[in-house]
Structure formats: C-alpha cells, structure tokens
Amino acid sequence: MSHIQISRRANTSRLAENFVRIGAIVASLLLAGVVMLFMGYNPIDIFGKIITSSLSTFSRFTETVNKTIMLTTLSLGIAVAFRMKFWNIGAEGQFYMGAFGAALAAFGFPELHPALLLPLMALFAFVFGGLWAMIPALLKAKFSTSETLVTLMMNYIAVSFISYLQYGPWKDPASLGAAKIARFSDNAILPKVFGIHAGWIIMLALVVIMTIVLKYTKLGYQIDVLGESETTARYAGMNTLKIMFAAVMLSGGLCGLAGFMQASAIEKSITDSMSGGLGFTAVITAWLAKLKPPVIVVVSFAFSMLLQSGKSLQVIGIPSSITEILQGVIIFFVLGSEFLINYKVSFRRNAVKEAE
Amino acid sequence: MVHQHFKLVDVMTAAENIVIGQEKGVFTSKKRMAQEISALNEKYGLKIIPDKKIYNMSVSEKQSVEIMKILYRGADVLILDEPTAVLTPQEITALFDILRRMKEQGCSIIIITHKMAEVMDISDRVTVLRKGESIATVVTKETTPKQLTEMMVGGSVSLEIERPKVTLSEKPLLSVKNLTKRDYEGVNVLNDVSFDIYGGEILGVAGIAGSGQKELCEIIAGLDKANGGEITFDGDSILGLSPRAILKKGISMSFVPEDRLGMGLVAGMSVTNNVILKSYNRNRGPFLDRKFAKSLAEQIVSDFDISTPSVNHEVKKLSGGNIQKVLLGREIWLAPRVLITAYPVRGLDIGASYNIYRVINEQKKKGVAVLFIGEDLDVLKSISDRLMVIHSGEVIDIVDPEEVTKEDIGLMMLGHHREEGAV
C-alpha cells in the first residue's frame, strides 16, 4: 500500500517559489493547449491569435490597455481591503457609484475648465465609491455582519440605481426614446496622451502610490497587522476601527476612481453595463497578483489580453469560451501552486508494517 | 492518543463522547454503554460518571474521558501529550496511579512531558528528542535529571533558577484592588482580586489553567474591561484605559501574552515587522522608520541570541524558543516598569526556558515589577518572591514560596484555604 504524505515545507527560497509559480503558468498553458487540440484547434495558432488580436494593431493595443487601466485600478482597491482580510467583493458596486459621483460633477459643472473639472470628478468618484464601501464596514463594526455578503449584495443595488437613472430621471430627452444618459460635456472627458486616454498615467501613479502606502507607511503596516490578527492589532494598541475605516475608504475610493476613468474616457457618460463585470474579474487578478501592486499591473495586462482576444476569436469562428477556459485553467494552476509552495507532497511505500 | 488540548464535544455526556464515531449500526444502547464504561472504570481505577456532560467536568475529569475513549476502543498503546499541564499535584498523582494500573494490565504508555520530576517518577525508560532527532533511550533508574537535561540541550546547563535579592521599591508599582470581571453569562471569572507588586519583585501566580489568569492579564493591559475594582500604576488609575492610552500615559507595561502567535506576534510577518509592533508609531508623519526597524531587529536578535536566517524571516517559521525571545526581546526593549508574562516557557526546551528565566530575573534586578503566571510549580516556587494562588477567579492566598510545599499549593489551587488545613 502506498501513501501520499503531505507535510508543511520548512523553508522555501523566494527563487524556488517563483520557479514553482512560473512552472504553474507554463503547465496551465500546456493543459489548455491539450484542451484546444481536443476541440480540434491548433493551440499554437490560437495562442498566436490571442497575442495578435490583442496587441498587433494600435487600436487593439489601445483596447487592451483600456481594460488594463480599469482592471488594475479595481484590483488595487480590492487588494487594500483583502490585505486586511476585509473581503470586499463589492468593487463592481463601488465602481458604479464612483462613476455616478463623477457624472454628478460632470453634469453639475459642465462649463468648468477641464483642469478643475476632471480632478473634481475624480474626487467625487473617490468619495462616492469610498462611502459606498463604508456602509458594509459600518455594518460590520456595529452589528458584525459579514462584509462578503453585504458588499456583494450592494453591487446589485448600485447597478440597479444606475439603471433607474438611465430609464428615469437622467434619461436623455435628446436620445429619442432610447434609454440613455446624456453625453458628458467635452470638458469632462479625459484627454489622450500618446493616443491612449490619460487614465494610464493615473493608473501608473496609483500603482506607485499604493506600493508606497502598503509597504512604507504606518497605515500599510497597520493594515497588514490587522489582516493577520485583530487580537494582535488591539494588543499593540492600534485603533482597529479607525484602520478598518481608512482602508475600506481607500479600497472603495480606488474602485470609484476606476469608475470615473471608464465614464470619462471610454463611455463619455454612464450606463448600467459599463463595467462589463470587471469588478469581479478584478478579485481574481488581485488575488493572483498576491495583492502586490506592481504584480497587479502585469496580471491585469495579461487578463486584459485574454478578454480582448476573446471577442476577436469569436469573429473568426473560434468560440471565445476558449479564452475563458484558459483563464480558468491559469487560475486553477496558480492557486494550486500556492499549495505546492507551502506543502510538500511525497509518495511513499508503506515501509513500516503494522506491528507484528 | 490523548492530546494536550482535549478533543471532546462539550454539550455531550461522557458516554456519548466515548462511543462517538464508533457505534456499530444506527442505534446505541445507553445501558450497554454505561455498563461497558463502568467495567473499564473498575479495571483501571478511573472514576467516570457516564451521564455527566463534558461542560460540567473539571479538567482532570475531561482527561479521564479522553483516556477512556482510547481504552474503550480496546487499544493497548496509549500516547499522552503533556497530560499534566492542566492538573494539580493531587490530580497528577491520581493520573499516575491510573497509568501504573494500565501498565500492570499490559498496556504500553508513551507520555510526552517537559517536567523532569514526572519523567523520573512515572517512566521506565526515557527517549530524549532534540530537534526531531532521537538522541538516546535510557532506563530511567540508571539516569539522572542532570544527565537527561544535558542530552536534551546538547551541552551542560545549570538547573538552578536563581532568586536574586533586590531592594524593593517603596510603594507598589502596580496595585490591583477588588478587581471583578463577569463573563457574558454573568459568571464571575475574576472575583474581588487584590494584590500589589513592588518594583524588583516577581509575583508568581499559580492556578489551574482557566482560573482567571488570562482575564487578569488582559484587563491590566487594557485589552478587556472589568466590572468593578481598581488598578493603579504608580499611583495613577489605569483601569478602563485602552492599550494605546496606557502607552500614551507614559506607563510602560509590557505584556507577554499566553497566546504568542495569536496575540503577541504577527505570525506571518518578519522579525523586523514584529519588533516594531509597539514602537512603529514613535516617529512623526505617515511613514514607517525602516532604518530604525532594521537596527532594532538586529539589536534584539543579537542581544537575545535569536537564531534566525535573517531579520526578514517570518516569525512563525522560527522555533518556539526563538519566537518567545522575539516577543520578550521586544517587550524588554521598551524598558518596562511592569512586566506581565503568562506561561513564558510553554513549549520551550529546557535550555531555552532557563534563558527566559534569566532574562526575567535580569529585569527584576533592574527594579521591574514582574507578574509571572506559570504552570510548573517547581519553577514557580523557585523563581517567585511571593506566590499568589488563584482558584476560579479568586485569590486564595499570597504566600512565601519557601514556606509552603507543592502539596499545599495544590490544595489551594483546588480552592482550599490554608487556614482550613485539612482535606
């Protein structure tokens, strides 16, 4: 009889850990390739198409970057909360409320100079997204509700609220009966820098800022301690509620900023479908990136390529679900590799016979 | 195997716990269960009441149930992990009687313990383990505690715990008056507790685990609220202040909690990030002082001789002794005037334990008031200047450790006052 023995690894070097992770990604690509073969496609062909359809022309590249901006910003927001083990899966809702906040500013001061209006929109978006996330935090502090459930449910409230605006009070009379919200004034639209909307600069700045906040500030330290153990945080004299509120505000605010950029630069208005579900995808990218801001950009870019190429593959007759399979397989392998990093699995023959 | 932390279902009766997971068929006969249990009771000299609920039981009763669980299965090899940590001396004697009886019936017993006296008392042969390696197996009668210790540590150590004489501060540094705490069910977990600690003194606290030690520590450190009473530190009332406020008042009180990795340290963080847990806020501005953190970590690692690959190593990956040294090192670096330690040597090997005792004694020499909550009565008797015995949240007596025997302390731990004398 043979046994599978699982034991905790005492020490693994950084290098070995990363080696396992890269191995996991390679293995997942191989497995996905096998699946493609079974489906009757040439995997090399498809991988090639994924790259070309997301990067080959400037407009395709732009599309991919647009998605990266959104996904990265949302993931940063999620990462802040997750590091504290506050399971904020309400990025979607905070994104919509942020977009709503930006729209309030855009419609309120359409004539304001862009240099003033855009920061104002960003501020509104941050505050609205942040406050939307504060509701579950307050409920958790006051009534110990589960933030996972509340943030999730509040997504639907936020989306329905935008639908209500779209079909009700904010319906654009000029759109001849179509349920649409009016276009922002030109002052409220993010300019392009090198052909891509300026959100990419904001995104890079946010990545740098969040790296610093999480790694080098007291707040980042407090968030990490609180995430590891609330008892320890209290023991160390930390004001746990204050830290939680600050981190949640930051988390929701960042998701709100993503809403602002998407509304201002891409939609040039707001709609109830403008997130494309990326608020949920961002949970995955944040987690795959181990909640580290610089890694988040890389992972988000890779996922954006997959998302972007899905559409193009569909056009040339290959089901876009192939990219979804690929996503799933990668997630499975990368998360699985964490187990291999922390534990050692050995197969061995049952050498020790039962006592005679 | 009998685990150190019992694996029993609190709301079930002894009998139910014993047969759990091994009934054949859907139905069980209560009567038959009771019969079988009393047969085993008789055979091994246990005293289990089959219908008693676990939550109504004392620790030693629970342990008996754990042992019975194994006997009921017909096992004849018994493994006990630190079975005496939670027992009074009298209960330990009773347990050992049971074990001896089992031995006579032909059972094999493996007992894991860190108390040398017990090893010498109960065992026939001893295997010494060090860092996962079997060092030697010897016949108990042919060895001495000193020899065993040397094998455990891998070198010679002195087994003397010194008790240096230090002049006490004039007024008590910490004084607790009529402290009362009720749990959420309204039961008193601390009842009218009063004591003083002077600078330069170690006040030992003996009591069965769960007699209010944890609550006492946490209330003094500001982590828990009391329902009544008074705590004064050098004349200032500190009761009801948050840990942060206590720090801010300039009161330096260091607290080494029982649950090292769950409370005192952040398990998944590096040594560096752990040593700044209480001092990260000392500089102004929003940024952490990384340079200070690194130098502090390096200083504590070298002062306390902590073996770690680097200061960036996660504390949970260190050995128990080194984990404890990180914690004590941090607390002592804060230059406390009151040091509260709860079970500071739990899980440490002998060498590491004696290091910790030495560190605590050094603090005492510096005029620090030490509250030392312990479990090994031999240690408590030799390190404490005065010994407070508590039972169910009440102070039974504060005694001079030189004047009492371990048996006296054991009786007090069960709630008998010394004046009443006889039991």
> Each residue of A40-63: pLDDT tens digit?
888 888 888 888 888 888 888 998
Domain finish residue from B89, B120, B153: B153
Instruction: Determine the Cα–Cα distance for residues A15 and A10; give it in Å rounded to an integer.
Output: 15
Q: Which of A10, A221, A239 sits opposite B280 (nearest CB)?
A: A221
In this prediction, residues A137-141 reach a mean pLDDT of 93
B246 shares a domain with B295? yes
Q: What one-letter code names the amino acid at B353?
A: S
For B405, what's the count of Cα atoms within 13 Å in the CB-facing half-sphere? Answer: 6
pLDDT above 60 (res A2): no
**pLDDT higher than threshold 50 for residue A352:** no
The four Cα atoms A36, A42, A44, A45 give a dihedral, to 10 degrees, of -120
Q: Is B317 within 8 Å of A11 when comparing Cβ atoms?
A: yes
The H or E element that residue B320 is part of is: helix B320-333
Q: Which domain holds residue B182?
A: 172-420
Contact B266/A at CB under 8 A: yes
Do B179 and B34 share a domain, yes or no?
Answer: no
Residue for token pair 């008193």: B188
What CA–CA distance (Å, rounded) separates B172 from B232?
A: 9
**Domain-located, residue B295:** yes
- Residue B242 to residue A237, Cβ atoms within 8 A: yes
DSSP string, B376-404: -HHHHHHH-SEEEEEETTEEEEEE-TTTS
Q: How far is CA A316 from CA A49, A50, A313, B97, in A?
A: 10, 12, 5, 82
What is the arithmetic mean of pLDDT over B154-159? 66
Do B186 and B104 belong together in one domain? Answer: no
CA distance B390 to A350: 50
Residue B4 lies in a domain: no
Last residue of a domain, one of B153, B188, B215: B153
Count how many pairs of residues, chain A against chain B, have C-beta atoms within 8 Å: 64
Structural tokens at position B354: 């004696």
Structural domain contains residue B66: yes
Residues 6+ apart with CB under 8 A from B288: A216, A217, A218, A220, A221, B276, B280
Q: Residue B162 falls within a domain, yes or no?
A: no
User: Is B280 within 8 Å of chain A by CB?
Assistant: yes
CB contact under 8 Å between A228 and B287, yes or no, is no
Classify residue B187: in a domain, yes or no: yes
pLDDT band at B422 (very low <50, low <70, confident <90, very high): very low
Asked if B277 lies within 8 A of A236 by C-beta distance, the reply is: yes
Residue A38 is predicted with a pLDDT of 86
Residues B184-211 have a mean pLDDT of 86
Query: Is B278 within 8 Å of chain A by CB?
Result: yes
Is B76 a member of any domain?
Answer: yes
Residues B109 and B189 in one domain: no
Choose the closest CB to B281 out of A218, A231, A235: A218
Indicate whether B99 and B181 sit together in one domain. no
- How many Å is the Cα radius of gyration of chain A? 23
- pLDDT tens for each residue of B404-419: 888 888 888 888 776 5
Q: Using an 8 Å Cβ cutoff, are A210 and A80 in contact? A: yes
CATH assignment at residue B31:
3.40.50.300
Q: Which residues of A touch B (CB under 8 A)?
A: 10-11, 216-221, 224-225, 228-229, 231-232, 234-239
Question: How big is chain B, counted in residues?
Answer: 423
pLDDT single digits (tens) B170-190 = 888 888 888 888 877 778 888
ipTM: 0.76
Please report, for chain B, how many H helices and E strands are present, in that order. 14, 14
Q: Chain-wide mean pLDDT for chain B?
A: 82
The domain ranges of chain A are 65-283
pLDDT of residue A284 exceeding 70? yes
Same domain for B180 and B147?
Answer: no
Stretch 187-246 of chain B: residues touching chain A, C-beta under 8 Å: 221, 223, 242-244, 246
Statement to judge: residues B115 and B185 lie in one domain: no
Chain B residue closest to A239 (CA)? B244
On whether residue B219 sits in a domain, the answer given is yes
Contact B288, A221 (CB under 8 A): yes
| Alpha carbons B279 and B296: distance in angstroms, whole number | 10
Q: Which residue of A has its CA nearest to B265?
A: A232
CA distance B57 to chain A (A): 29
- CA of A237: which chain B residue's CA is closest? B244
DSSP code per residue over A28-47: HHHHHHHHHHHTT--HHHHH
Is residue B354 one of the residues assigned to a domain? yes
pLDDT, tens digit, 9 for 90 and up, residues B67-97: 888 878 777 788 888 787 777 777 888 888 8
- What is the C-alpha to C-alpha distance for residues A100 and A106, in angstroms, rounded to an integer? 10
What does the block give as tokens for A150?
């509340």
Number of structural domains chain B divides into: 2
Write out pLDDT tens, residues A285-344: 998 888 999 999 999 999 998 888 887 787 777 787 888 888 888 888 888 888 877 777
Flag whether residue B336 sits within 8 Å of chain A, measured between CB atoms: no
Nearest to B277 among A10, A217, A225 (CB): A225
Shared-domain flag, residues B224 and B87: no
Its pTM stands at 0.77
Q: Which of B247, B267, B286 faces A217 most closely, judged by CB atoms?
A: B286
